[in-house]
């Protein structure tokens, strides 16, 4: 369905770049940058790769990042009156792989998360009225189900983590992994863990039952479940942004912020990238290898002039729209959390909580007395940032209209901060997976001097993408020799 719509701009772009080769004589020597590896995107995996390559692996790098900072999904709000920080993006980390050591090397102390106890209220996503008819699983039942899920996920950990280098093809793919999660969950009596799995991982927007089990493991696999159950997750002391500020200090002139690649030439011997940074004259980057860490959506990959082999893989992603923000919402009392859920989940269909085109929740964040709430909103349909804010505010008004939490006055909700985490999801069919889609995806590693890391090439969560990156970097070094 997405194919014709996506391919059209791509074909036009290819036609355009094919006739206009990059002319090096248009760049003064000051504006030509030569490096071993050019890194597209300075989020979790791009920043990690940049530090490891330049500081540990004697490999020169340049990072190209459109935002004005490193860190990707980390969003820290600084309260102006006190300089206290509130995290409204990434919250906490697992110790998996090299993660704790990475914080230590950048001089950032870590501590156990100090989770506040919130009272959760489930409301009907259509009306905002309390959905009293829905009975969430008891916490012991949820933990027991989560333990069973961990055992099941650990069975497949060696083919999924870190990365799919050893993933089998065709009929060798374990049949269980290709079951719709609704069937898998009932077969294995794990439906009681679904509400927590969705709350922690945000998987299942539009409905969890049809998502393939392998894709639920991508979002909520063995490493995160193990650490969640063991209580070994941690938070940085100070703020989540500190690590990325320190990394930026270390990398200094090797980071181009507010920058975009607008044209590329790639072949087996290396890449040439034209980079636009604000009003500065365009620069030419000549690199031996290219490491793509930006979400590999068709939009982000447009300037890369994809070849048919690359297009065959990258046109299969499903786009997803996801937003985080920090708000003041006077009609929700502090210490509350409000989850908007589908009416059909009553009385106890936990897998049906997200059978709706969007998902929404508000969580009181503290510091106390300021009425601050983190908002998480995600849709399975195209939506702009302004429209997303509109839908969020409408849902606050629904609470007041329904008298939920005694909200009577029309409630003036305000955004202190807002950012989008739009990306793509891997949602290919069982047939496509059996036909070797994962092998085609991994077959792109090194193709046209281009390598990939980041959440779409493995599992979600920062520590997982760092561990995946640690499996990609040695391959790039070998390729460079």
Ligand X SMILES: *[C@@H]1O[C@H](CO)[C@@H](O)[C@H](O)[C@H]1NC(C)=O
Ligand Y SMILES: Cc1cc2nc3c(=O)[nH]c(=O)nc-3n(C[C@H](O)[C@H](O)[C@H](O)COP(=O)(O)OP(=O)(O)OC[C@H]3O[C@@H](n4cnc5c(N)ncnc54)[C@H](O)[C@@H]3O)c2cc1C
Residues near ligand X (CB under 6 A) are 58, 82-83, 116-117, 141, 144-145, 189, 192, 206-207, 333-335, 355-357, 368, 380, 405-406
Say which residue the tokens 């206290």 belong to.
Answer: 84
CB nearer to ligand X: give 116 or 155.
116
- Report the C-alpha gap between 155 and 159 in whole angstroms: 9
CB nearer to ligand Y: give 276 or 350.
276
Residue 293 touches ligand Y, criterion: CB under 6 A = yes
- Report the C-alpha gap between 428 and 167 in whole angstroms: 16
Single residue of 461, 467, 472, 476 touching ligand Y by CB under 6 A: 461
- Report the C-alpha gap between 18 and 330 in whole angstroms: 56
In whole angstroms, the minimum distance from the beta carbon of 82 to ligand X comes to 6
Residue 319 touches ligand Y, criterion: CB under 6 A = no
In whole angstroms, the minimum distance from the beta carbon of 276 to ligand X comes to 29
Binding-site size, ligand Y (CB under 6 A): 33
User: What are the strands, taking DSSP E only, across 283-317?
Assistant: 283-292
Residue 462 touches ligand Y, criterion: CB under 6 A = yes
Q: Among the candidate windows 89-97, 129-137, 274-282, 379-387, which touches ligand Y by CB under 6 A?
A: 89-97
- Indicate which of ligand Y, ligand X, none lies near residue 300 (CB less than 5 to 8 Å, by partner kind): ligand Y
Single residue of 421, 433, 472, 473 touching ligand Y by CB under 6 A: 421
- Extract the tokens encoding 308: 């048919």
Residue 44 touches ligand Y, criterion: CB under 6 A = yes
Say which residue the tokens 């692996």 belong to.
Answer: 57
Residue 385 touches ligand Y, criterion: CB under 6 A = no
Single residue of 55, 66, 210, 336 touching ligand Y by CB under 6 A: 66
Residue 300 touches ligand Y, criterion: CB under 6 A = yes
Cα Rg of the chain, angstroms: 23
Residue 263 touches ligand Y, criterion: CB under 6 A = no
- Indicate which of ligand X, ligand Y, none lies near residue 478 (CB less than 5 to 8 Å, by partner kind): none
Query: What are the phi and psi torsion angles at 426 (to 5°)?
Result: -90, 105
Q: Among the candidate windows 64-72, 106-114, 264-272, 332-340, which touches ligand Y by CB under 6 A?
A: 64-72
Give the angle 256-261-263 at the CA atoms, nearest 5°.
Answer: 145
Query: What are the phi and psi torsion angles at 280 (to 5°)?
Result: -65, 150
Tell me, rounded to whole angstroms, the distance of Cα 387 from its chain centroid.
21
- Report the C-alpha gap between 322 and 324 in whole angstroms: 7
Neighbouring residues of 105: CB distance < 8 A, sequence distance ≥ 6: none
CB nearer to ligand Y: give 90 or 388.
90
Query: What are the phi and psi torsion angles at 317 (to 5°)?
Result: -65, 155
Cis amide leading into 429 (omega within 30):
no
In whole angstroms, the minimum distance from the beta carbon of 141 to ligand X comes to 4
In whole angstroms, the minimum distance from the beta carbon of 445 to ligand X comes to 22
In whole angstroms, the minimum distance from the beta carbon of 207 to ligand X comes to 4
- What angle in degrees, to the nearest 10, is found between the helix axes of 462-480 and 222-230? 140
Q: Which residues make beta-bridge pairs with 276?
A: 260
- Residues of this chain that bind ligand Y (CB under 6 A): 40-46, 64-67, 72-73, 89-93, 260, 293-295, 300, 322, 324, 421, 454-455, 460-463, 465
């Amino acid at each position: 369905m997405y194919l014709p719509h996506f391919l059209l701009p791509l074909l036009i772009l290819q036609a355009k770049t094919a006739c206009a080769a990059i002319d090096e004589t248009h760049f003064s020597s000051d504006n030509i940058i030569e490096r071993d590896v050019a890194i597209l995107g300075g989020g979790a995996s791009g920043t990690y790769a940049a530090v490891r390559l330049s500081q540990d692996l004697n490999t020169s790098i340049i990072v190209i990042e459109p935002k004005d900072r490193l860190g990707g999904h980390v969003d820290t709000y600084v309260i102006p009156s006190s300089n206290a920080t509130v995290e409204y993006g990434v919250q906490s980390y697992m110790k998996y792989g090299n993660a704790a050591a990475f914080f230590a090397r950048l001089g950032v102390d870590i501590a156990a998360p100090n989770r506040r106890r919130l009272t959760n209220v489930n409301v009907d996503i259509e009306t905002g009225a309390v959905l009293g008819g829905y009975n969430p699983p008891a916490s012991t039942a949820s933990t027991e189900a989560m333990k069973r899920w961990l055992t099941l996920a650990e069975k497949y950990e060696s083919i999924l983590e870190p990365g799919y280098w050893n993933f089998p093809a065709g009929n060798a793919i374990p049949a269980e992994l290709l079951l719709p999660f609704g069937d898998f969950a009932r077969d294995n009596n794990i439906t009681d863990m679904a509400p927590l799995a969705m709350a922690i991982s945000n998987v299942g927007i539009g409905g969890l039952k049809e998502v393939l089990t392998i894709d639920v493991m991508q979002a909520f696999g063995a490493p995160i479940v193990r650490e969640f159950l063991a209580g070994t997750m941690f938070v940085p002391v100070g703020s989540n942004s500190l690590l990325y500020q320190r990394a930026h200090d270390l990398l200094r002139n090797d980071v181009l912020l507010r920058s975009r690649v607008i044209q590329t030439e790639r072949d087996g011997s290396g890449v040439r990238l034209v980079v636009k940074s604000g009003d500065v004259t365009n620069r030419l980057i000549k690199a031996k290898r290219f490491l793509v860490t930006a979400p590999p959506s068709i939009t982000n990959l447009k300037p890369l002039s994809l070849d048919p082999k690359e297009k065959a893989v990258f046109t299969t992603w499903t786009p997803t729209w996801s937003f985080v923000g920090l708000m003041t919402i006077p009609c929700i009392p502090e210490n509350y959390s409000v989850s908007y859920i589908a009416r059909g989940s009553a009385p106890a269909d936990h897998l049906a909580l997200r059978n709706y085109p969007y998902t929404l929740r508000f969580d009181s964040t503290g510091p106390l007395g300021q009425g601050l709430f983190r908002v998480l909103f995600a849709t399975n349909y195209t939506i702009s940032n302004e429209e997303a804010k509109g839908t969020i505010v409408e849902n606050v008004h629904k609470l007041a209209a329904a008298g939920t939490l005694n909200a009577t006055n029309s409630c003036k909700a305000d955004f202190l901060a807002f950012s989008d985490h739009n990306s793509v999801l891997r949602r290919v069919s069982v047939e496509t997976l059996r036909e070797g889609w994962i092998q085609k995806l991994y077959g792109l590693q090194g193709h046209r001097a281009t390598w990939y890391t980041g959440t779409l090439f493995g599992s979600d969560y920062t520590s997982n993408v760092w561990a995946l990156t640690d499996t990609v970097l040695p391959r790039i070094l070998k390729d460079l020799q």
